[in-house]
Amino acid sequence: MYELTICHLYPDLMNLYGDRGNIITLTKRCQWRGIEVKIIPVSLGDEFRYKDYDIIFIGGGQDYEQTILQDDLMRSKRQPIIEAVESSKVVLGICGGFQLLGKYYRTHTGSEIECIGALDLWTHGGETRLIGNLVIECDFLKGKDPQGYVVGFENHSGKTYLGEGVKPLGKVIKGFGNNGEDGFEGAIYKNTYCSYSHGSLLPKNPVLADHLITLALLNKYPDFMGLEPLSDTLEQQAHDTVIARIISE
């Protein structure tokens, strides 16, 4: 009997538009295969022991909420998050969560907000928001999905740049991506995955969801043989129709 524990960091603050869809998807796709899932919310004032968790999720938040958690994050969670990332825990950071995992966020007025620094990446606040549907091509998914396409929706003003050792999640096919300049989206470092596709990234991209679940199971159970396939007709249909429409627009 396999078992995974998912940590939802700051679920009451970093929960912008549908981020919990990612948690729901990870949970359901495990349960349908008989894998037990526990979800532990960890918020302000809570202790964060990364070793207790197999998957750590941090979503996006509004500016106001992000300022509320800043102190708590830097004081009590920063070090364990860095250790989690370095020890190859599966971490998923979306939008604001993606930015927080980097080194700093420089607002467009010039002030710099220090971030966790777990990944060598940084963000500059822009004046315009990058909003819209997003399709990217992910090489690491090509064995499981013919084109390796991942589809989502982005809405951010920050422009993120990747340092050495951090790979992008994918190449932008449609949309803006990290900064609207270099043609890449998201970030991968060890088993940490980041994306600007806030909200429902995983539901419509079941191959990506399964990729993360597999990594978490392999971490915990070295003899794990691989996930049983599920009937993904609806997910695949949603994935394909949206991509077809976005690309033809």
194 included as an active-site residue: no
Least distance to other proteins, CB of residue 182, Å: 23
The crossing angle, in degrees rounded to 10, of helices 206-220 and 233-248 is: 130
Catalytic residue (choose from 30, 95, 115, 194): 95
Do residues 157 and 125 make contact, with C-beta atoms less than 8 angstroms apart? yes
Reduce the DSSP state of residue 160 to 3 states and report it.
strand
95 included as an active-site residue: yes
The most distant pair of C-alpha atoms in the chain lies apart, rounded to whole Å, by: 53
The count of residues interacting with other proteins (CB under 8 A) is 41
Annotate each residue in 60-89 with x if it binds other proteins (CB under 8 A) or - if it does not, as one string.
--xxxx-xx---------------------
Identify the residue among 13, 85, 150, 188 touching other proteins (CB under 8 A).
13
Between the alpha carbon of residue 153 and those of residues 11, 66, 162, the distances in Å are 20, 20, 20
Quote the tokens at residue 230.
């599920």
Least distance to other proteins, CB of residue 152, Å: 8
Least distance to other proteins, CB of residue 239, Å: 8
Pick from 9, 1, 118, 4: which is nearest to 54 by CA? 4
Residues marked active site are found at: 95, 198
Per CB under 8 A, residues contacting other proteins are 11-13, 15-21, 24-25, 28, 41, 44, 62-65, 67-68, 129, 131-133, 153, 155, 198-200, 203-204, 231, 233-235, 237-238, 241-242, 245
